[in-house]
Amino acid sequence: MFIGGKMRIAVIGSGYVGLVSAACFAEIGHKVISVDNDADKIAHLERGEVPIHEQHLPELIKRHHRKRLHFSTVIADAVRASEAIFITVGTPPSETGEADLSFVEAVASQIASAIDGRKVIIEKSTVPVRTCESLRKTLLLNGAPPDSFFVASNPEFLREGTAVLDFLYPDRIVAGVDDAFSSSLLQKIYAPLTSGSYYCGKNAVAGPDGCALKARLILTNAKSAELIKHASNAFLAMKISFINAVANISEAVGADVTEVCAGVGSDQRVGPRFLNPGIGYGGSCFPKDVRAFHTVATQCGCDFSLLTEVMKINEEQRRRFLQKVRSAVWTLRGKKLAVLGLAFKGGTDDVRESPAIAIIEALTKEGARIIAYDPVAMAKAKGQLAASQVTFASDPYEAATDCDALLILTEWKEFAELDLPRIRGLLKFPIIVDGRNLYEPNRVADAGLVYYSIGRAVAVPLAISSAVRVHPESPLDLVAAMAIRRQAVTAA
Ligand code: UGA
């Protein structure tokens, strides 16, 4: 049916998923039109300005723009020019926890009126099970001739920050199809990855070590594909909440959660990935998708209360971190705290549902002043945080200067490589509270800093622990820190 040659693809919605998918479809040889109704965004893209921080994306857009990749604000033109139309618009949470599908519906009605030949409409946005059915109905209601289109589901599994590599080197590609035409079309679209031919090209983006040389395509029906997406994200969120709960037990009994993770994760049935404890998951996907999947389950008459617990533990994790900060510095009113990290995770400028933002808001509510730094997310964070309580520094060291403590809230690689003795010299009191376990505790203590992390004992410099009896949960640490600060000042 589709033998040889490039496919003509429209990608409707130029957010994270849409833009990455459009650039990657062009990269694997197809002719792509990326559409968005935000004229400003399209104008930026036309000028070669990429609106999101995503590794490899600028180079791919530069490589293919005006050749295999075009931008447009007009859905109808893109639909007429394409045989495959991917819908990648947002599905934000509604008040009730369900995914709000109004953008998908609006796009579908515009697609319907532009259909002029046989098309496959493919949902790529994260949507609840049965959305394909609603999509089909909406297309029919809006005048699409019944024999002119098929609908399919092709969920994405891209992580922000590594989205391009996730697309080009996927663990699996899921194609949810209910007819042979869509099946053949999706197999053809992904053939450069499933045959491995893309990876042989001399300009192919280099993949992560150890990745397979041919991508695996899993063909399912549309409903199964929709469920795979929600179930995958819910499972990963559960893995994070699970390990966070284990971290809390580790702390309570004096075990070390890093050792526990290494032991548990080395069982191949569990695996070591997504077992990093911290301040809870955030971002535009997990919080929304776990809520939406729970709502779907309830609507189907299934009591999926496990997901309620996953969400509860996630919330609790932020509260526990705040308690850790209080136990490190005692009261918060008037305290000046350095915060490293604003993005919901390292490698992205995205601050949507970022635990860092939530924690900063809670700290400022209690009267703390925040000096924040993030390598790329400060511009976006400024839109969310009140300027009266948060100021922004130009690097981690400026942020730390004269602060009562330093908090690490995002797992940026550069935060794991700080000059700790320098940080110690800049802080008013030598205290680090790390919500991402970036350091080996003894290393921080050896640099003269009291180090609080997640699921591990507080690490205290020898000079302090021998001078003062330090109880991990008591504000005595502060007294100890003052003592060491005095020593440092006297020595200087
Ligand atoms: C997630 C999934 O990983 C992707 O497969 C999926 O395609 C995407 O959602 C989506 O549905 O669009 P993403 O939200 O970009 O990707 O970020 P993750 O890397 O999954 O991290 C999510 C959150 O979990 C972050 O706040 C991160 O800090 C936290 N996390 C992750 C942990 O606390 N511990 C871990 O071990 C891993």
Q: Which residues are catalytically annotated?
A: 285
Q: Among 45-54, 376-385, 460-469, which stretch is predicted with the lowest mean pLDDT?
A: 460-469
Average pLDDT over residues 7-24: 97
Rounded to the nearest 5 percent, the helix, strand and coil shares of the chain are 45, 15, 40
Å from CA of 409 to ligand 1 middle: 15
Pocket test for ligand 1, best of 53, 158, 173, 227 (most atoms within 8 A of CB): 158
Average pLDDT over residues 398-423: 98
- The confidence band for 481, taking pLDDT boundaries of 50, 70 and 90, is low
Å from CA of 81 to ligand 1 middle: 35
Residue 483 predicted with pLDDT over 90: no
Å from CA of 236 to ligand 1 middle: 8
Q: What is the pLDDT of residue 96?
A: 82
Ligand 1 proximity of 345 Cβ (cutoff 6 Å): yes
Instruction: Give the residue, by CA position, lying nearest to ligand 1 atom 1.
Output: 159
Ligand 1 proximity of 344 Cβ (cutoff 6 Å): yes
Quick one: CA dihedral 392, 393, 395, 400, positive or negative? negative
Percent above pLDDT 70 for the chain: 93
Ligand 1 proximity of 233 Cβ (cutoff 6 Å): yes
Contact 458, 444 (CB under 8 A): no
Ligand 1 proximity of 11 Cβ (cutoff 6 Å): no
Residue 482 predicted with pLDDT over 80: no
Which segments of 92-245 are extended strands (E)?
A: 119-123, 149-153, 173-177, 217-220
Q: What is the pLDDT of residue 126?
A: 87
- Angle subtended at Cα 379 by Cα 376 and Cα 384, rounded to the nearest 5 degrees: 120
- Please state the atom number of ligand 1 nearest to the C-alpha of residue 161: 15
Q: What is the pLDDT of residue 238?
A: 98
Distance between CA atoms of residues 434 and 408, nearest Å: 5
Residue whose C-alpha is closest to residue 129's, from 298, 284, 14, 306? 298
Q: pTM of the predicted model, to two decimals? A: 0.92
Residue 486 predicted with pLDDT over 80: no
Residue 84 predicted with pLDDT over 60: yes
Ligand 1 proximity of 351 Cβ (cutoff 6 Å): no
How buried is 40 (Cβ within 10 angstroms: 0-12 exposed, 13-18 middle, 19+ buried)?
exposed
Residue 339 predicted with pLDDT over 50: yes
Q: Do domains 8-220 and 236-314 have the same CATH topology?
A: yes
- The confidence band for 479, taking pLDDT boundaries of 50, 70 and 90, is low
**Looking at the domain 317-491, which fold is it?**
Rossmann fold (3.40.50)
What mean pLDDT, rounded, does the chain reach? 92
Instruction: Give the residue, by CA position, lying nearest to ligand 1 atom 20.
Output: 159
Q: Among 101-105, 138-142, 294-298, 463-467, which stretch is predicted with the lowest mean pLDDT?
A: 463-467
Q: What is the pLDDT of residue 463?
A: 79
What CATH code is assigned to 236-314? 3.40.50.720
Q: Among 350-359, 371-380, 475-484, which stretch is predicted with the lowest mean pLDDT?
A: 475-484
Instruction: Give the residue, by CA position, lying nearest to ligand 1 atom 37.
Output: 274
Q: Among 113-127, 186-200, 211-225, 476-490, which stretch is predicted with the lowest mean pLDDT?
A: 476-490
Percent above pLDDT 90 for the chain: 85
DSSP, collapsed to helix, strand or coil, labels residue 477 as: helix
Quick one: CA dihedral 159, 162, 163, 165, positive or negative? negative
- Please state the atom number of ligand 1 nearest to the C-alpha of residue 160: 15
- Angle subtended at Cα 168 by Cα 24 and Cα 89, rounded to the nearest 5 degrees: 50
Contact 230, 126 (CB under 8 A): yes
Q: What is the pLDDT of residue 5?
A: 54
Ligand 1 proximity of 167 Cβ (cutoff 6 Å): no
Ligand 1 proximity of 239 Cβ (cutoff 6 Å): no
At 79, which helix (H) or strand (E)? helix 75-80
Average pLDDT over residues 298-306: 96
Residue 98 predicted with pLDDT over 90: no
Å from CA of 286 to ligand 1 middle: 7
Distance between CA atoms of residues 349 and 345, nearest Å: 9
Q: What is the pLDDT of residue 378?
A: 96
Distance between CA atoms of residues 465 and 472, nearest Å: 11
Ligand 1 proximity of 242 Cβ (cutoff 6 Å): no
- The confidence band for 475, taking pLDDT boundaries of 50, 70 and 90, is very low
Average pLDDT over residues 344-369: 96
Å from CA of 233 to ligand 1 middle: 8
Residue 330 predicted with pLDDT over 70: yes
- The confidence band for 64, taking pLDDT boundaries of 50, 70 and 90, is very high
Q: What is the pLDDT of residue 488?
A: 54
Dump pLDDT digits (tens) for 147-189: 999 999 999 999 999 999 999 999 999 999 999 999 999 999 9
- The confidence band for 292, taking pLDDT boundaries of 50, 70 and 90, is very high
Å from CA of 281 to ligand 1 middle: 7
Residue 1 predicted with pLDDT over 50: no
Domain boundaries, the chain: 8-220, 236-314, 317-491
Ligand 1 proximity of 155 Cβ (cutoff 6 Å): no
Distance between CA atoms of residues 441 and 274, nearest Å: 21
Å from CA of 107 to ligand 1 middle: 27
Average pLDDT over residues 139-148: 94
Residue 476 predicted with pLDDT over 70: no
Residue 492 predicted with pLDDT over 70: no
What CATH code is assigned to 8-220? 3.40.50.720
Distances (CA, A) of 308 to 276, 290, 431: 21, 9, 35
Ligand 1 proximity of 158 Cβ (cutoff 6 Å): yes
